[in-house]
Structure 1
Amino acid sequence: MNIAGRRWHLLLFRWALMLLLLTVAGGLGYALLSLPEQAVGLSEQVRVNMEMSGVQNPVTAVLLNFRGYDTLLEMAVLLAALLGVW
Structure 2
Amino acid sequence: WSVRKESGRVYPWNFEKKIDIKKSSENFISNLISHCTYLNGESVLPKNSLLYEKFMVLNELNNLKVNEQKISVETKQDIYNKLLQKR
Q: TM-score range by the shorter chain?
A: 0.3 to 0.5
Q: TM-score, normalised by structure 2?
A: 0.34
Using CA pairs under 8 Å that are at least 6 residues apart, name the structure with larger relative contact order, 1 or 2: 2
Q: TM-score, normalised by structure 1?
A: 0.35
Q: Which has the larger Rg? A: 1
Task: Pick the structure with more strand per residue.
Answer: 2
